[in-house]
Amino acid sequence: MPSRLILTDVGKSFVMHLRGGVTIPVISGVSFSIDAGECVVLGGPSGIGKSSILKMIYGNYGVEAGQIICACESGKLIDIASADARTIHALRRRTLGYVSQFLRVVPRVSALDVVAEPLAAQGASHEEARRRAAELLARLNLPEALWDLPPATFSGGEQQRVNIARGFITDHAILLLDEPTASLDAQNRAVVIDLIAEKKKAGVAMLGIFHDKDVREVVADRVIDVATFSRRSNAA
Amino acid sequence: MNEHVETPPVAIEDLPLLRASGLTRFYGDRIGCRDISLSLWPGEVLAIVGESGSGKTTLLNCLASRLVPTAGCVEYRMRDGTVRDLFRMSEAERRVLMRTDWGFVHQNPIDGLRMSVSAGANVGERLMAVGARHYGKIRGEAEHWLERVEIATDRIDDDPRAFSGGMRQRLQIARNLVTNPRLVFMDEPTGGLDVSVQARLLDLIRQLVADLGLAVVLVTHDLAVARLLSHRMMVMKGGVIIEQGLTDRILDDPREPYTQLLVSSILQV
């Protein structure tokens, strides 16, 4: 299978100007690649820089050093580390998906529409997007009574299922998973495991963080130990 | 004219709609904004953020040709594909552009509405300005737009003085969108509204922008509004742009000391 995502010598630190310009090193020399149809898991303790790697790939964090090459379906290669805002925005719409731990709630938008939105943004009709959204929410056992409500008042587990459905609804070739199972019960964890397996079969390249050992062991084709890139351990 | 028009090498969506270069405006010897260059593409929402006095409204007014810059130029790609320098157009041409292809949503609806005529007339007026004459059609279109901005159509004959702040702002949006513009300028569109009213308006703007594929230049001091509505963001201070990029990137990983201060000052609920 071809590589979808290739990181080469990626490094990141934060300069905190509000604290006298102190530099906080996070990671350096991050190099790995992910093939189509593969699920790679970032391992290591909290605070070691796992989420930072996902955020750099998704464009939320700037990249100080190195390259993050994304191989698009068209065959085009894009370096996320140096890409402009418009390129990253287009990449997010077509190629690069992200399931975050927490839902960023938009006031007044129903759960169904929150889930349908990324598919509609790719050009699917409103009806088709909502139909697919309903399928996924049903599969994730979100009570139908909640579908037309904005998720702001949902429980953590319910919000997370909305988030998962939103992340899995499209056929993005690369999917970043930031603890998608953190607040789910066993039944819904199993659904997420199935969804990941289906994405693998469809050739999607996935990079994830899973603190849940059981889930990690089932979904991971490989575990990358982020401690080897971390600069936190030897930071002052 | 060359009759052999060739297919452009880049898709029309890949060409900017609005492009400013070296835009500078002085007020006497005081700087409004200095040496600003930017491009805006169709369907893109660009937020300009900064505190009061940072120059963001001066920049917006220069871009919208409501203010003549001291230096620099603003180019706009017309519907026929030609690119025109705004400040070389005639006053009449510019007025047509502002009434048809552009919208301008003011912070205070009083600045964007005619308060002494009915809601229907406020919306219909823009249509008449572009040549609509059939009363029934104009009224029908006005009704349609009132519905779209969630104003009950039985209020069509009331004048906006009888409307709440949130309703007035929604009416102003309807008035701007009725001519099917491609570019809308917004100056603090949710400023001065109660939070619940603000949330409704934000959601409405978000939906309309996505459904209609509008390009928007949004001036706001509220980073939460910028996060919700914009794709790209520029941070202004002292009349210049100090940081710009993907909205998520600026808010999650601000680089400049001033941007870090702004982001760290957001109230968390």
pLDDT at B3: 44
Q: B15 versus B11: which is more confidently predicted?
A: B15
Q: Is it true that domain A3-229 has CATH number 3.40.50.300? A: yes
Contact A59 B200 (CB under 8 A): no
Chain B positions touching A113 (Cβ under 8 A) are none
Mean pLDDT for the stretch of residues B144-156: 93
What is the residue-averaged pLDDT of chain A?
Answer: 92
> Which of B203, B253, B261 minimises the CB distance to A62?
B253
CA distance A51 to A148: 31
Please give the single-letter amino acid code of residue A211: H
**The pLDDT of residue B193:** 82
Q: Which of B203, B206, B253 lies closest to A61 in CB terms?
A: B253
**Whole-number Å distance between alpha carbons of B247 and B249:** 5
Q: What is the DSSP string of B59-96?
A: HHHHHTTSS--SEEEEEEE-TTS-EEEGGGS-HHHHHH
Between B3 and A25, the more confident residue is A25
How far apart CA A151 and CA A165 sit, in angstroms, is 13
Is B228 near chain A, with CB under 8 Å?
A: yes
Residues whose CB is less than 8 angstroms from the CB of residue B21 and which lie 6 or more positions away in sequence, other chains included? B37, B72, B73, B75
pLDDT tens digits for A148-192? 999 988 998 999 999 999 999 999 999 999 999 988 999 999 999
Contact A106 B206 (CB under 8 A): yes
The larger pLDDT score, comparing residue B266 to residue B116, is at B116
Closest chain A CA to residue B250: A60
Q: How confident is the model at residue A230 (pLDDT cuts 50, 70, 90)?
A: confident
Which residue in B200, B252, B257 is closest to A17 by CB distance? B257
Residue A61, chain B, CB below 8 Å: the answer is yes
Strands (E), chain B: 18-27, 30-40, 45-49, 71-77, 83-85, 102-105, 183-187, 215-220, 232-237, 240-246
Measure B138 CA to nearest chain A CA, in Å: 28
Per-residue model confidence (pLDDT) at position A182: 86
A23-74 tens-digit pLDDT: 999 999 999 999 999 999 999 998 899 999 999 999 999 999 999 999 987 8
B264 close contact with A: CB closer than 8 A: yes
Q: Amino acid identity, residue A82?
A: S
pLDDT, one tens digit per residue, over B42-101 is: 999 999 999 889 999 999 999 999 999 999 999 999 999 999 999 999 999 999 999 889
For residue A84, pLDDT beyond 90: yes
Q: Note whether B249 contacts A59, CB cutoff 8 Å.
A: yes
The average pLDDT across A188-202 equals: 96
Which stretches of B217-256 are DSSP H helices?
Answer: 223-229, 247-252
What ipTM goes with this model? 0.91
B210 to chain A: which residues are within 8 Å by CB?
121
> Rounded to the nearest 5°, which phi and psi values hold at A128?
-60, -45
Q: What is the pLDDT of residues B160-180, one digit of tens each?
A: 999 999 999 999 999 999 999
Does B183 touch chain A if contact means CB atoms closer than 8 Å? no
pLDDT in tens, B107-129: 999 999 999 999 999 999 988 88
| Percentage with pLDDT > 70 across chain B | 94
- Residue A225: phi and psi, rounded to 5, are -85, 110
Are A103 and A93 within 8 A, CB to CB? no
Q: Name the closest residue on chain A to residue B196, using Cα atoms.
A: A107
Give the pLDDT band (50/70/90) at residue A233: low
Residue spans per domain, chain B: 102-180
3-state helix, strand, coil in chain A (%, to 5): 40, 25, 35
Residue B265: closest C-alpha in chain A: A18
